[in-house]
Structure 1
């Protein structure tokens, strides 16, 4: 019986010295898969043994060698090294290992090498997770088997052996995953691009260059879907080796999705047709209209229009993305913890017809807040700032020409829970209170999910 691509790959690793850097959500299933295949694995992580709550001991019992603590990257004497997605590939220790002959790869890069089915991947500064989820759920609603992974869900490499050629793998890909990618998906979607992750990327140019890998390795049969309303993504069309389709709220591209009289239309070489009335989209906000347009463009010909309409009327969104937590005494509380950049928070603020009470601030990714100041002035009635960036956001708002202190009170409260409770105290019946930080969470939380969960716990605990 012929061996599958993943079985062939694992057999080639046997007898080699393999390291997996990062014992986290994305790499733990990878480590276990390699160990089950009889491969000698050294699992490396900066955290000490005590931080893993039994996982480290479990990996050791399966045969892994552990290299933990501050020196986890020293003397990487391995033939194959899997890096964790957020780690730069040009760290001196990794470069030294490569100079000694090591191969540097990642779970996602190997997945593309061995995946037996069609791949659809989504990247962008905002809207990645919602667009990825919409695409996968629409495929499932149309009766297809869709696997969801990459930067969301679970690592898909351990599932490859069960995938059939007619299945579809739907992936969210971050700039960090794309930095060293040498293969591109069959269908690539870029939702938008704006400054982000400049605490890790050396420049905006490097950030854009990483995103471009989602389509640069396509062949002539590949499809690139880009946002025509975003100057950076629109420029990708000139570099695409395959077909290009666009989506736009402001123009009508030759191929792709556009708005006309409150309805999303799709145009291809054959004809144009109405697909989805905006009024049918349950999710609030213009950015979610764009997310649907991106998905509709990518899935044109793969999912019936009626399936799209039925789904849009019922889909309430993904957790931590303008998620209605509860309504209490006439006040609605929304969790938008995913908003880790100014552009994301701006989209959230524009989703509401009224001025909101905003809780913002967090870890400093060295992104300017100039564009956020005017939006807060226009859409916020009271502002509660917390975390490392509180003062920077405050200064950006105060520098806005239209800012009036009496019309927009600003409170800086370092303690996250106290900031949330103060926003609650300020709210009156009919108000909207939203956590939409415009910043990453790493000053106080492990990730945006933990931050959102903390917010929800506080809100659920209100009497």
Structure 2
């Protein structure tokens, strides 16, 4: 029997193929395509003398992959005469050169779209405005705990198309999918999860309605033998149940006639339709703080219900240290837990993270500060003061954070003289100061409330640097 993969490989023989962008998702795509078709043209907006582009080109040449390159400011003007075009995820379909080729009947696809079409294994797909990376990772870890071979990728940062030959029908694939990726997709995942939908990425989408429409694409083509997991407390995503043909499961809901997962009596519960509830785990035993992380566990439990025993969910909930740079537990040093949340590149993200520690009444030392991006700091001062009185400022926006604390302390009748608040020049000094202040039972949290660009290339580099400092204690 000819597989979908082999059918695609046969179809592209002798075709002219364009790949737009030589970034993280398309580099493995190019290497995978080349043995099947050497007529590949790569379009990239970087100028020909850019060191990053030259390094990428050199890497391909050293691997024996010889490509046509079109680069620079007007690189898309030559996007003509191709049979198949792979777009980069953040390229809109109404970009004039793309629209021109669509009108000609040229097939436009993407690495992730093609992967979902040819993947031979059951597919779990997760999208949402918040929590999708953590939920994707939890599902993967739960499936692994139950003994499955699991491939995790998509927007989480790992392209999978170049691994397609290794994936067997009995394996499991878990994808995080962004609104950018979903805009031209029509997948039929075995299990779809939407964590929530709130306004996001409106610098890319025309409006909130278009953003919702992109998320809808995850579920519009699911058949009635599939599963859809929705958040009953999020009105926008919950309303999508009306357009779904799949079996519906809801978290944050308790209903006798439905399959649901919920919190009750400081524990997490799962209940199949018309069956008695089953205990998943006590909230106090969940390693990751934050009620939003309890939501993520509930969603993952419903998603994996048909594939794992409930004990696998419990085990992962008790041991999962978090996704790198997202409230990641780095190390326990002398009964002090150090957390890396370098992804918190705005005040709202830091506010959300701080709420998790406040909920659990964890004594906290906060390391905060990064580069400002014209953010609104409203509410940050109150969130900090509710969570801690020990604050280490380090970054370009340190004074903006200090001002928010001082301004909002008046609303809380907080005694500023009782605060331990200091500003340091670098992360080495911040970690040393936090280590000196800390006592057994404390937590130390990096949550910058700003971007990394004052000191680092990206938030991952910032988090890795912090992690290295902590692990060396």
Displacement of 1:106 in angstroms is 0.7
**Which stretch of the first structure deviates more once superposed, 277-286 or 320-329?**
320-329
Displacement of 1:227 in angstroms is 1.7
Contact 1:187 1:223 in 2 (8 A): yes
Unaligned runs of 5+ in 1: none
In angstroms, what is the RMSD of aligned CA positions?
A: 3.2
Distance 1:39 1:438, change over 3 A: farther
SS of residue paired to 1:216:
coil
- What's the counterpart of residue 282 of structure 1? 287
- What's the counterpart of residue 436 of structure 1? 447
TM-score, L = length of structure 2: 0.84
**In the alignment, does 2:67 pair up with 1:64?**
yes
Deviations 1:122-149 (A, max 9, x none): 1122222221122112212222222111
**In the alignment, does 2:228 pair up with 1:224?**
yes
- What's the counterpart of residue 386 of structure 2? 378
Deviations 1:387-406 (A, max 9, x none): 57984995598468437582
Contact 1:218 1:241 in 2 (8 A): yes
Distance 1:356 1:147, change over 3 A: same
**In the alignment, does 2:216 pair up with 1:212?**
yes
Q: Distance in 2 between matches of 1:95 and 1:410?
A: 54
- What's the counterpart of residue 76 of structure 1? 79
**In the alignment, does 2:306 pair up with 1:296?**
no
**In the alignment, does 2:124 pair up with 1:120?**
yes
* Number of equivalenced pairs: 455
Displacement of 1:410 in angstroms is 7.7
Deviations 1:201-237 (A, max 9, x none): 3333333332222212212222211222223322222
Displacement of 1:298 in angstroms is 0.9
Q: Distance in 2 between matches of 1:403 and 1:213?
A: 49
Q: Distance in 2 between matches of 1:97 and 1:8?
A: 23
Contact 1:377 1:397 in 2 (8 A): no
SS of residue paired to 2:42:
strand
**In the alignment, does 2:178 pair up with 1:177?**
no
SS of residue paired to 1:308:
helix
Q: Distance in 2 between matches of 1:312 and 1:165?
A: 27
Q: Distance in 1 between matches of 2:397 and 2:380?
A: 16
Unaligned runs of 5+ in 2: none
Written as runs of structure 1 = structure 2, the 5 A alignment for 1:213-362 is: 213-248=217-252, 251-253=253-255, 254-278=258-282, 279-326=284-331, 332-340=337-345, 344-352=349-357, 353=361, 354-362=363-371
Deviations 1:398-431 (A, max 9, x none): 4684375826688888xxx636735753762235
Displacement of 1:111 in angstroms is 1.2
Distance 1:162 1:393, change over 3 A: farther
Written as runs of structure 1 = structure 2, the 5 A alignment for 1:144-159 is: 144-152=148-156, 154-159=158-163
Distance 1:57 1:403, change over 3 A: farther
